[in-house]
Amino acid sequence: MENNNEKKRRFLIALDLDGTLLADSANGTMHPKTEEAIKKAVSQGHIVSIITGRPWRSTKPIYEKLGLNAIVGNYNGAHIHNPSDPFFIPTISYLDLNEVLYILGDKKVANEITNYAIEGPDWVQLKHRDPNLEKVFNFNQATKFREEIALEKLPLKPTGIIFDCKTTTNVVDLLTYLKRRYGDLGEFSSWSKGDGLSPIFDITSIGVGKGKVISLIMRYYNIDIDDTVVIGDSFNDASMYEVGNVGVAPANAEPYIKQLSTVVMKETNKEGAVGYFIESFLKNPDKYIKLGKKRQEKNRDNLQIVKADNFYNEEE
């Protein structure tokens, strides 16, 4: 006799796009194995959610091709919505324009920026055209697109800012600087738009993060914390691993993301890492869930209380 509880069990699989689900960011293509495995997961009733730094307009073609029907997190979670449910009330987090311009005017930051865009859910202002940037963000598909930063015509509450940097920019150094210097004004992250291309940085409102989108999705679909899988590759994905149980990294992921992961795949995003993992997970989910719980327990054990006598003593 079939176990009714097992029959109804659903898993949450939260996926980053660029460098993870997509094999080629510029062309929006994915490995056949990844496409096949995601469609299979959806057909079995599991929740597959895209959580990305991209806006909805450049996420939509992938969402529709995969036949997804779940909540989406765009702008790293600044825009949370469900395209398949007209009754789902979207959540949008806005930035203060004056504070953003203040950050962009910082000499250290300005020295690294080569291009930037200020945007909301239906509008974009871009400093200058760039095919590599536009392939990822589809700026010209925005309802209101302006090829200039017209400060006198900018809404005061943008959803997010993205800026392109030099190919020589030290990502970790600049990201660390932004978080330390302006951590009270916004959330900062960085990710790749493709091999050999310059890194992208983005700024979103305080409190915005991919991990918080996963918390919302778990509650909305009533999914057990242990039954969550997260897959990403870059710094803007880190918060997902703090919330999800089974953390997965493709072979091309940043070393930091690999350290946070339960499973590091031998395949890259171009080789179908997401697809191969989902296929393996669906065959034996409890194996990976158990590994994830062990990782979580290990992380908790590492949070040791520092005794007073371990602090530096000026007299020593």
Provide the greatest CA pair distance for the chain.
Answer: 72
Q: How far apart, in whole angstroms, are the C-alpha atoms of residue 12 and residue 230?
A: 8
User: What are 247-250's contacts with CB under 8 Å, separation 24+?
Assistant: 247/292, 247/295, 248/273, 248/274, 248/277, 250/19, 250/20, 250/274
At 179-204, the pLDDT tens digits run 999 999 999 999 887 777 888 999 99
Confidence of residue 309 (pLDDT cuts 50, 70, 90): very low
pLDDT at 304: 52
pLDDT digits (tens, 9 = 90+) for 266-280: 999 999 999 999 999
- Residue 295's H or E segment, with its range, is helix 285-301
Instruction: Please give the pLDDT value at position 303.
Output: 57
In three-state secondary structure terms, 69 is coil
For residue 211, pLDDT over 80 is answered with yes
Which domains, and CATH codes, for the chain? 10-92+208-301 (3.40.50.1000), 97-204 (3.30.1240.10)
Question: What is the rounded end-to-end Cα distance, in angstroms, of the chain?
Answer: 71
The pLDDT value given to residue 189: 92
pTM score, two decimals? 0.88
C-alpha torsion 295→286→38→243, nearest 10: -30
Q: Any idea which residues carry the catalytic annotation?
A: 16
pLDDT over 50 (residue 136): yes
Q: Which two tokens stand for residue 276?
A: 């191969």
d(CA 91, CA 93): 7
